[in-house]
Structure 1
Amino acid sequence: MPGVTAPTRRQVLSLYKQFIRNSNQFNNYNFREYFLSKTRNTFRENMNQEDPKVLVNLFKEAKNELGVLKRQSVISQMYTFDRLVVEPLQGRRN
């Protein structure tokens, strides 16, 4: 791929924020925490990647995964779940 341009830091941070925002949309605590954790770990693992080709592929793959996450979070909002004991109370942060 000649002339491969890696995504900018701003693009990557924007993508990360979208993952966090959409992960927080899940009504189910377990799904929400799983996707938040997975997002943080994935971005942390690739934080020091410098190869433009690899970065372009990671960015494309992440955008595809974001589309799936968005669809699943919308589906999750269609259902209600009982709150779990481990979930913090509304308005209280521990």
Structure 2
Amino acid sequence: MSNKTLQLYRQLIRESKKFKSYNFKEYSIRRVSLGFRENKNVKNSEELDKLYKSAEENLQMLKRQTLINSMYAHNKLVVEQ
């Protein structure tokens, strides 16, 4: 994994942890990890560029979603306490 890919992965995880809702937070962390794990053996540079661009778009979408999520009050679930 290249340095810039690792940096993007960390940004996605960091942004996922900003969700106030436990379910959204855990789901997005799981999806980010799974997405990177599924594509760890891709060697084709065109495919890697496409995946990287898609991950950058997902990061922007994740930033918007965490902002929207932070605007609403959430009661803590039993698993959070």
Q: Distance in 2 between matches of 1:86 and 1:66?
A: 27
| Unmatched tracts of structure 2, length 5 or more | none
In structure 2, what is the equivalent of residue 80 of structure 1?
Answer: 73
Pair 1:35-2:28 in alignment: yes
Q: Runs of 4+ in structure 1 displaced over 2 angstroms?
A: none
Hey, what's the Cα distance between the residues in 2 that align with 1:80 and 1:33?
18
- Of the two, which has the highest radius of gyration? 1
Residue identity opposite 2:11 in structure 1: Q
Amino acid in structure 2 at the alignment position of 1:59? Y
TM-score w.r.t. the length of structure 2 is 0.95
What is the match of residue 44 of structure 1?
37
CA distance in 1, matches of 2:73, 2:30: 22
Give the root-mean-square deviation of aligned CA atoms.
1.0
Q: Partner residue of 1:12?
A: 5
Structure 2 equivalent of residue 92 of structure 1: none
Q: CA deviation at 1:78?
A: 1.0
Aligned length: 81
Displacement of 1:48 after TM fit?
1.1
Describe the superposition over 1:18-55 as per-residue Cα deviations: whole angstroms up to 9, x where unpaired. 10000000000000000000000000001111110000
Matched, 1:21 2:14: yes
Task: Write the mapping of 1:51-90 to structure 2, written as runs, cut at 5 A.
Answer: 51-87=44-80, 89=81
**Amino acid paired to 2:69:** S
TM-score by length of 1: 0.83
